[in-house]
């Protein structure tokens, strides 16, 4: 069996470990099989179904990727280490592309698009009366009162405006390495005890400034949010996401969410799902938060998410170079400027892009070498804008 795996992937299954699974050449397989590496909870669907027939669209794949580039779209997808790429317009898929060796039915790790999914679950729970966005986390989870999160509100977690003494540096041996060990994404350190994800979050200290000020993108905020939602609703996050989002969405397959050794949910980056199901999330938002006649996301929440990010705060924050006129609200990015487009994004090249003006939704999954690549970010955003502007 391992020989067959090695023939297909170029290395034996035994070569993929927690020490290397996010690096080439292992990540293309690992990002589609995370539940085999990290303990994971199931986000079930109510209606498993076959995928629609693929739509290749040679004309679109043969066009120039974006203005200023000589590369054709298909070539750009391959060279940018894309795994799967889907484009829908007016609710109909008009292009689908997958890298060699990638099965279109495979789930794929979303990384920080998980934050945006977590925010949608928050929206539903707020409407149901479980969540008060102005509530301090310390009132929900008393264990947090000695750390940074005790007096931070749910809204501040959603908008990444928490004062946290934490370095979001992915390839480091400091804060982020300890964080990844706690979530079971990195090998254990025999010299250090694993306190679990929640205990680590509770111990994080506050930064020098007050909550509610600068935009500082720090993933622990959304992991803390997921735990708070579990406490408020009295259910595991995976079950909440299943009942409130995945079932009414009509997702084609179950999704998965990584958890730590105590079952704490990795709501900042641990969700995996089929590309078609992520595309369906974008289409639901484009359709005003509805699937058919069923309202899933409250319209007021969606309007607030699309309109109320603060461009001035963004410009002074930690991600200002990602979008020139961007905003951030409820774990979603707004392109800003003259564009009404909004998006969710994750490291290693994951995107869900929604453009209301052209009624276009784009889902792009990748296994890029580096967690962050500023040039590829700019090129991907240019590609999405170009596709939305095309007839």
Name the pTM for this structure. Answer: 0.98
What local confidence, expressed as pLDDT, does residue 1 receive? 56
Q: Which residues pair with 218 in a beta bridge?
A: none
CA–CA distance, 131 with 124 (Å, rounded to integer): 9
Q: Which DSSP state fits 1?
A: -
CA–CA distance, 255 with 322 (Å, rounded to integer): 28
CA–CA distance, 189 with 142 (Å, rounded to integer): 29
- The angle that helices 113-127 and 275-286 make with each other, rounded to 10 degrees, is 50
CA–CA distance, 329 with 342 (Å, rounded to integer): 10
Q: Strand pairing of 92-98 and 342-346? A: unpaired
Tokens of 116: 């945006």
Task: List, for residues 161-198, the tens digit of each pLDDT value.
Answer: 999 999 998 877 888 999 999 999 999 999 888 899 99
CA–CA distance, 213 with 94 (Å, rounded to integer): 42
Task: List, for residues 299-320, the tens digit of each pLDDT value.
Answer: 999 999 999 999 999 999 989 9
- The angle that helices 220-233 and 113-127 make with each other, rounded to 10 degrees, is 30
Give the burial string for 311-343 (b: 16+ CB within 10 Å, else e). eebbeebeeeebbeebbbbbbbbbbbeebebbb
**Distance, C-alpha 74 to centroid of its chain:** 24
CA–CA distance, 370 with 348 (Å, rounded to integer): 6
CB neighbour list of residue 355: distance below 8 Å, 6 or more residues apart: 339, 340, 341, 361, 384, 388
Could you say which residues of the chain have pLDDT below 70? 1
Contact 352, 113 (CB under 8 A): yes
Tokens of 196: 């679990």
Closest CA to 258 of 157, 367, 365, 109: 109
What local confidence, expressed as pLDDT, does residue 2 receive? 74
Which DSSP helix (H) or strand (E) runs through 206? none
Closest CA to 156 of 138, 140, 133: 133
CA–CA distance, 249 with 272 (Å, rounded to integer): 16
The full set of domains in the chain, from first to last, is: 27-124+235-389 (3.40.710.10), 131-226 (1.20.58.710)
**Distance, C-alpha 373 to centroid of its chain:** 16
Contact 277, 249 (CB under 8 A): yes
Q: Which residues pair with 96 in a beta bridge?
A: 86
**Distance, C-alpha 270 to centroid of its chain:** 8
């Amino acid at each position: 069996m391992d020989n067959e795996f090695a023939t297909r992937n170029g290395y034996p299954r035994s070569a993929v470990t927690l020490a290397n699974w996010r690096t080439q050449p292992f990540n293309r397989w690992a990002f589609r099989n995370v539940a085999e590496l990290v303990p994971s909870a199931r986000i079930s669907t109510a209606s498993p179904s076959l995928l629609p027939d693929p739509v290749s669209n040679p004309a679109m794949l043969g066009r120039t990727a974006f203005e200023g580039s000589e590369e054709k779209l298909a070539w750009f997808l391959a060279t940018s280490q894309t795994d799967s790429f889907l484009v829908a317009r007016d609710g109909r898929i008009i292009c689908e592309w997958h890298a060699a060796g990638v099965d279109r039915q495979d789930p794929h790790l979303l990384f920080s698009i998980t934050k945006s999914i977590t925010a949608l679950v928050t929206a539903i729970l707020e409407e149901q009366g479980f969540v008060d966005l102005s509530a301090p986390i310390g009132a929900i989870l008393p264990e947090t009162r000695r750390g940074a999160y005790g007096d931070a509100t749910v809204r501040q977690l959603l908008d990444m405006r928490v004062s946290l003494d934490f370095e979001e540096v992915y390839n480091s041996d400091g804060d982020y390495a300890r964080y990844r060990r706690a979530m079971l994404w990195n090998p254990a350190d025999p010299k250090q005890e694993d306190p679990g994800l929640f205990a680590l979050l509770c111990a994080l200290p506050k930064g020098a400034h007050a909550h509610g000020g600068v935009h500082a993108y720090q993933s622990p905020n959304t992991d803390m949010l997921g735990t708070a939602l579990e406490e408020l609703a009295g259910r595991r996050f995976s079950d909440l996401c299943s009942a409130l989002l995945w079932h009414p969405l009509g997702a084609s397959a179950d999704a998965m969410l990584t958890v730590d050794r105590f079952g704490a949910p990795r709501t900042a980056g641990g969700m995996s799902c089929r590309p078609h199901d992520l595309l369906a999330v974008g289409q639901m938002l484009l359709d005003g938060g509805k699937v058919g006649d069923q309202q899933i996301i409250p319209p007021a929440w969606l309007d607030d998410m699309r309109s109320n990010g603060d461009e001035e705060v963004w410009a002074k924050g930690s991600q200002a170079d990602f979008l020139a006129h961007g905003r951030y609200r409820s774990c979603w990015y707004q392109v800003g400027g003259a564009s009404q487009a909004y998006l969710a994004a994750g490291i290693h090249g994951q995107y869900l892009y929604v453009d209301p003006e052209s009624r276009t939704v784009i889902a792009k999954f990748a296994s890029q070498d580096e967690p962050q690549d500023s040039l590829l970010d700019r090129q991907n955003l240019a590609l999405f804008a170009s596709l939305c502007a095309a007839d």
